[in-house]
Structure 1
Amino acid sequence: MMNLWISPRGDRSAARQLTFDRHRGVSGHSWSRDAGWLLFGQDTDGDENVKLYAVDTSSGEQRCLTPFDGTRAAVVRIGRATPDLILISLNRRDPRHADLYTLELSTGRLELVQQNPGFTSFIVDDDYRVRFAVGRTPAGGRELLAPDGASGWTVVSVVEPDDARTTAWSHLDHSGNVLYALDSRGRDTTALVATELATGRATVLGADARADVTGMITDIDTHRPVAYWTHHERPTLHVIDETVCNDVAFLNARGIGDWVIGSRTLDDRLWLVGAATDTTPGVTWLYDRAAKTLDRLFVHRPELMELPLARMQSTEVRARDGLPLVCYLTLPRAADAGEPLRATAPRPMVLLVHGGPWDRDRFGFNPMHQWLASRGYAVLNVNFRSSTGFGKHFVNAGDGQWGRRMNDDLDDAVDWAIAAGIADPQRIAIVGGSYGGYAVLSGLTRSPGRYACGVDIFGPSNLETLLMAIPAHWEHERRMLYRAVGDPTTPEGRADLRARSPLHAAGVIADPLMIVQGANDPRVPPAESDRMVEQLVARGIPVTYLFFKDEGHGFSREPNRLTLNAMMEAFLARHLGGGLEPFEPGDFRGHAMEIRQGESLTAAA
């Protein structure tokens, strides 16, 4: 179980445990500016109503700072000038829109800074003053607004819908005079742009013709970007300020793999650096910028460090309409021919479909790839249209294409793997979560017999009901979702959504199917899976339905994750013939899985 610990830098044997969660664990944290508190958020069994907690780093005392049921809290900013005061957002007044509050850590006192009349977010300066608001246009674009001094707002910049998923305002510099943004207006890929507020002059600080700028390193004092990341097939860090040239060169020369900064000391001398390669799990390092030393603190999965893991390979596959699809392939070590993208013989293959769909697959250490490759499967990821990071043309090419060209992209990548002698066409599984789960259901209803089996993990089956039941805190994204998926408010839109909803084609499924659902999922409600299972059972079509009563849109509890993985492994072994580690559901004490349809899958089964 993940919990927070604290240790003196020079004596790790003196580490002390600060949190003692035994249910879902603590998955992330922030430091207060004076290092007196560690802050973290937790929801209740995956309901995404996050409460904010603080634990005293000296005494271990833990307090809930936002003890409000049905409310989402988030840390917005931790300023330097007021170490005991942080800025948070709360949707307590209106579940659709989060207001800004200052929170006094020592007392828990909240003070309203800005009531939210319907914006998606705010941009504040170092003194917690609201300088801008970000809103949605009726057509699904974005707009930047500034306070007009009379309790109103003035629009200062507009982003049209075609740029809305690839343009976002980021932050102000310390002076409050320069606004930084990731901006695709007037270009295809997102650039890093600085705008001088007094003159409106915009300067492109960095860009890549093939990939979006996806992140940046900023100066800890001025907040000026000093480097930025892009990720086409592989991640690349681009330096734009000489202050970090030596640091980047030093870390790149250490052979630790792709790295990111996790946190930094206030004087910016020490960095916590997370690094990994495709064949080594994550390692956290302590980097001393002045001394130019790099000390390994801990390995995230030490039991894997000495094992021979399988390499990940990247390639670009052309879709049938010519769109380039960046894909990632992992072969079992025994089946890797040693040449690029070549197998010793066609293998059973698992196609893993990412969620979102406004997300992407990336190069690097992937636990799912390593697990499945160790069981004898080739594993393929596809960045289908709508995936992020490849420019606005690519992401917008998926609008209206759920169950159409987005699934065609998956089929085209599978055809490539078959033609390349990588995949056995008779032994291919399709597996995915969220949007990826929808792609599983769509693939099985569009092309019965194409896949040997499928695993849908909290995927929507009915696009009409999905869009009509979006969470309250997604209200500001409604128009964007309608533009991308379909409009359930018009007869034509409903008919189109119905035609692309696997629920209404359940009767054609001919391939073994496993469906997995969390009881508290606010994004894809259980009804999406329940109705699909009902349709299949009514038609006499076999289905395995796994239901987890204490999970939401994702699986946080380790007993649940292990049980699900064991059941998936047995399901894939049955239908693809891969390896299987013997198990019984009772092996994972504390799991909350219910088998609502189908039989338990064990080694004996």
Structure 2
Amino acid sequence: MRTAFLLTVSAAVLALASLSAAHSQSPAPAAAPVPIEYFFDNPEFSSAALAPDARSLAVRFGGKGTRDRLAVVDLDKNAIKVVAQFQSADIGNFYWIDNERLVYDTNDKRLGPGARQFAPGLFAVNRDGSGFMQLIAVSDGPRDASRRTNTILRSDHYLVQQFGRQDSKSVYITNAKFGNGNNDEVEYINLMRLDTLTGRTEHVKRPGLVKGWTLDHKGEPRLATLVDKDIQTLMYRDPADGNWRKLASFNLYKDNENVFNPVAFGPDGTLYVSAWSSDDKSGLHTFDFATGRVSAQPVIKLADFDFSGSLVTSRDKLLGVRYLSDARATAWFGPDMKALQAKVDALLPSTVNLLDVAARAETPWVLVTSYSDVQPTTIALFNAETGKLNKVGDFHERIVASQMASQELVRYKTRDGMDIPAWLTIPKGGKRKDLPMVVLVHGGPHVRGGEWGWKSDVQFLASRGYAVLEPEFRGSKGYGERHFRAGWKQWGLAMQNDIADGTRWAIAQGIADPKRICIAGASYGGYATLMGLVNDPDLYKCGINWIGVTDINLLFTGHGSAIDDAGQTYKQYGMPVLIGDPKEDAARFKATSPLEQAARIKQPLLMAYGGVDQRVPHYHGRKFYDAVKPGNPDVELIVYDDEGHGWTQPKTRVDFWSRVEKFLDRHIGPSGTQSK
């Protein structure tokens, strides 16, 4: 009675070494470029997680021509068993919910969003492959309707990825209820407790139109987030009586005082939050339920970055805090974990090493995730008693660190005196002068753009001889409140100047050849690419825009798509604050519209869009192409029919970046012999 989408358990026992066997392949000769597929293929090994007792390790892995499978390694016996796989889908997310049981959903890495017909679903299985249970359907159509039982929920239910103590056979799931507006926005989200053995559910009482839920350290609902127009309200469920009460309310877009964002609950019930203080940068604080105030002194505070991170706990103890500065790191509170970190760092001195301890460890195994600017993520097991480190797998096993380019965080001054951080990657080989350069602009735009670490697109460009500059222009998050707010309503204006000033800084430093610079980016980065060609034709010889906004008004009023994932509430309350109001700022929108200025762009331009993109539909690209092409013969537009807002398929990534490689080589290539 099982379809191809249901579990089939393989009897084969795989050798653990096979998870990283490809790592032993001979690298490409140093003189030859690293093959493009090495950068953009899906990894064969892609995740690992320790069981709460640290006696088992779950891993997700695939192979050439095979689907991703879920296997469990018995660390006591050093034996591995495949416990879940699908004939027509990949294993997606997976999580331990106690020592014996895992839950997981599905994915299809071979298809783009436009070709996918199924939801992720949800399944459960024991670590030995027994106790299989389908909990949420992958489709509500006729394909599996005849086989559905009353315990299988409809496909519009989703797992809450918070598990607390990991000591229960139950999990929490959500189900969104949509309004009747044109965009079918979420009106509220229901929360249900789901028994993974029986499939039975129990609803949690909502304290209003809840848009988000937070579980505490024990895995129980403790916070509910309500949003009404532009006002966010946090409700707290008191463990003493189970009743909900209001903690705080604030404007999502305009408030900057007394605002805090929940991070997580500690084992003792303390709520940890991120909040801004008088010196501009946010830190990690505690929240006092009795006074309703955030602590004056932060638990963690960084000099140059806003706090972004999570708690690290074990049993009923807060061990430390994982945070992001230029790279990721952990602040340990006790001497034992500090000593453990030091031992691992001594074994792996060239990488960031993040330690994950099991919730209630009964063995000395610790999971280690390592990476650097030249080394993609690798996962290993460290034995705290023996001091031995055993590799589990590499995310990009064919990448050789010695062939990759180094990355650094630099800062430069803008024309109006602001300090702008930027990520600079220099091609391998030592030369740091008069390089062809790609100015790579991040999307968002009101997000943090990057961090220190290996990135496929940047390393690919560097492997082809290009320096890469990634500015964290004003309006980017993560660098303080002033830096963030300075970018409000500055699309095409000060934000654009920051990018140009970074380009001129690289020229002044002697890094970039002023005659061989191309600007590129996706989403907002695509918009900035087009505006860069308009505003600074002296700087940029060419441009590459993928999935980029071509007119601000199109974000508000119409984009040629029946579905728009921005949402009317965000358009009504968020976008006018961050970007501008279509009526009040009509003149500015027109002056900073690439579509309106299309005739001014004469430089070579490569554009690409996703055929099912609901964020920036390909209508943006088509209208712009029709406007720019009559006056610019060197413009190309590609539409990947099944892709959305970004490239999910390896074949798309390889095709797109192959086109980028040829385009750049023609116009600013490292040889310096371009005819244009």
Same fold (TM over 0.5): yes
Q: What corresponds to 2:406 in structure 1?
A: 311
Q: Is 1:421 aligned to 2:421, yes or no?
A: no
Partner-residue secondary structure (3-state), 1:414: helix
1:76–1:436: structure 2 CA closer, same or farther, 3 Å change rule?
same
The answer on 1:278 being equivalent to 2:373 is yes
Q: Which residue of the partner structure matches residue 8 of structure 2?
A: none
How far apart, CA to CA, are the structure 1 residues paired with 2:133 and 2:635? 45
CA distance in structure 2 between the partners assigned to 1:447 and 1:325 by the alignment:
19
Moved more, 560-569 or 570-579: 570-579
1:513 counterpart letter in structure 2: L
1:18 is matched by which residue type in structure 2?
A
CA drift of 1:556 comes to: 1.6
Greater shift, 468-477 or 107-116, is seen at 468-477
2:98 is matched with which residue? 33
- Asked whether 1:246 is paired with 2:339, we answer yes
Secondary structure at 1:327 match in 2? strand
- Which residue does 2:435 correspond to in 1? 347
* Change in CA separation of 1:364 and 1:319 when aligned onto 2, cut-off 3 Å: same
Q: How does 1:405-484 map to 2 (within 5 A)?
A: 405-468=494-557, 471=564, 474=567, 477-478=570-571, 479-484=573-578
2:158 partner letter: A
Query: Which residue does 2:300 correspond to in 1?
Result: 206
1:346 Cα offset (Å)? 0.4
Q: How many residue pairs get matched?
A: 567
Give runs of ≥4 in structure 1 deviating > 6 Å: 147-152
Instruction: Work out the CA distance in 2 between the residues paired with 1:569 and 1:13.
Output: 44
- Amino acid of the structure 2 residue aligned with 1:248: Q
Paired residue secondary structure (2:171): strand
* Residue from 533, 536, 547 that aligns with 2:639: 547
Give the 5 Å matches for 1:131-170. Answer: 131-136=222-227, 140=230, 142-146=232-236, 154-158=246-250, 161-163=254-256, 167-170=260-263
Question: Which residue number in structure 2 is paired with residue 91 of structure 1?
Answer: 176
- For the residue of structure 2 that corresponds to 1:321, the secondary structure is coil
Pick closer, same or farther for the CA change 1:112–1:22 going to 2, 3 Å.
same
Moved more, 511-520 or 194-203: 194-203
Partner of 1:601: none
Matched, 1:402 2:491: yes
Secondary structure at 1:281's aligned position in 2? coil
Corresponding position of 1:123:
214
Greater CA deviation, 62-71 or 26-35? Answer: 62-71
Aligned ranges for residues 2-401 of structure 1 at < 5 Å? 3-10=68-75, 14=80, 16=82, 18-20=84-86, 25-26=90-91, 28-40=93-105, 42=107, 45-46=112-113, 51-54=120-123, 56=125, 57-59=127-129, 63=134, 65-67=136-138, 71=156, 73-80=158-165, 83-94=168-179, 95-96=185-186, 97-115=188-206, 117-126=208-217, 129-136=220-227, 140=230, 142-146=232-236, 154-158=246-250, 161-163=254-256, 167-176=260-269, 178-200=270-292, 202=295, 203-222=297-316, 224=318, 226-232=320-326, 234-254=327-347, 255-261=349-355, 264=358, 266-267=360-361, 269-305=364-400, 307-334=402-429, 336-337=430-431, 343=432, 345-357=433-445, 358-401=447-490
Secondary structure of the 2:519 match is: strand
CA distance in 2, matches of 1:326, 1:375: 25
User: Could you give the per-residue CA deviations for residues 205-247 of structure 1, whole angstroms, max 9, x where no partner exists?
Assistant: 1112321121134213336362342414x54543334452222
Counterparts of 2:94 and 2:368 in 1: how far apart (Å)?
Answer: 16
1:403 and 1:117, CA in 2 relative to 1: closer, same or farther beyond 3 A? farther
1:31-87 Cα distance to aligned partner (Å, 9 max, x none) = 332442242354883379963432535449684625467947342422447622111
In 1, Cα distance between the equivalents of 2:194 and 2:134?
A: 13
| Residues 1:448 and 1:62: Cα distance change in structure 2 (over 3 Å) | farther
Residue of structure 2 in register with 1:593 after alignment: none
Q: Is the 1:145–1:157 contact (alpha carbons within 8 Å) kept by the matching residues of 2?
A: no
Moved more, 201-210 or 373-382: 201-210
Match of 1:340 in 2: none
Q: Distance in 2 between matches of 1:425 and 1:27?
A: 45
Aligned-partner residue type, residue 193 of structure 1: H
Give 1:272 shift. 2.0
Q: What is the Cα deviation at residue 465 of structure 1?
A: 2.2
Alpha-carbon distance, 1:363 to partner: 1.4
Instruction: Please say if 1:500 is aligned against 2:592.
Output: yes
Query: Is the CA contact 1:86–1:102 (under 8 Å) kept in the aligned structure 2?
Result: yes
Change in CA separation of 1:391 and 1:114 when aligned onto 2, cut-off 3 Å:
farther
What residue number does 1:527 align with? 619
Q: Give the structure-1-normalised TM-score.
A: 0.83
Following the alignment from structure 1 to structure 2, what is the Cα–Cα distance between the partners of residues 409 and 112?
50
- Distance change in 2, residues 1:114/1:550 (3 Å): farther
In structure 2, what is the Cα distance between the partners aligned to 1:114 and 1:346? 64
CA-CA distance at 1:99 after TM superposition: 2.4
Rounded to whole Å, the distance in 1 between the matches of 2:397 and 2:671 is 23
- Residue identity in the other structure for 2:82: R
Residue 459 of structure 1 deviates from its aligned partner by 1.2
CA 1:35–1:388 in structure 2 vs 1: closer, same or farther (change >3 Å)?
Answer: farther
Q: Write out per-residue CA displacement over residues 257-298 of structure 1, whole angstroms, 9 at most, x where no aligned residue.
A: 112346735428533221112222221111234444322212
Distance 2:138 2:207 in 1: 21
Return the alpha-carbon distance in structure 2 between the equivalents of residues 62 and 131 of structure 1. Answer: 28
CA contact (8 A) 1:356 1:435 kept: yes
Partner Cα distance (1:573, 1:13) in 2: 50
Query: Structure 2 CA distance, aligned partners of 1:434 and 1:549?
Result: 17
Judge conservation of contact 1:18–1:55 (CA < 8 Å) in 2: no
1:304 and 1:472 map into 2 onto residues whose CA distance is 36
Deviations 1:98-122 (A, max 9, x none): 3222233234444432458544422
For 2:655, the equivalent position in structure 1 comes to: 563
Larger mean CA deviation between 408-417 and 451-460 belongs to 451-460
Contact 1:277 1:364 in 2 (8 A): yes
The answer (yes or no) to whether the contact 1:361–1:382 under 8 Å persists in 2 is no
Bigger mean CA offset, 268-277 vs 395-404: 268-277
Task: Assess if the C-alpha contact under 8 Å between 1:166 and 1:391 holds in 2.
Answer: no
Superposed displacement of residue 418, structure 1: 0.8
Residues 267 and 521 of structure 1, relative CA distance in 2, 3 Å threshold:
same
Contact 2:159/2:171 (8 A) holds in 1: no
Aligned residue for 2:204, secondary structure, equals strand
Query: Sequence identity of aligned pairs in percent?
Result: 25
Distance 1:183 1:314 in 2: 25
Instruction: Please state how far the C-alpha of 1:374 moved relative to its aligned partner.
Output: 1.7
Superposed displacement of residue 180, structure 1:
0.7
Evaluate the alpha carbon distance shift between residue 284 and residue 81 of structure 1 in structure 2; reply closer, same or farther with a 3 A threshold: closer
8 A contact 1:172–1:180 mirrored in 2: yes
- What's the TM-score once normalised by structure 2's chain length? 0.75
- Between the two structures, name the one with larger relative contact order (CA 8 Å, sep ≥ 6): 2
Structure 2: gaps spanning 5 or more residues: 1-41, 45-67, 141-154, 180-184
Q: Per-residue displacement from partner, 1:478-511 (whole Å, max 9, x unpaired)?
A: 42333111123xx213443333221221111111
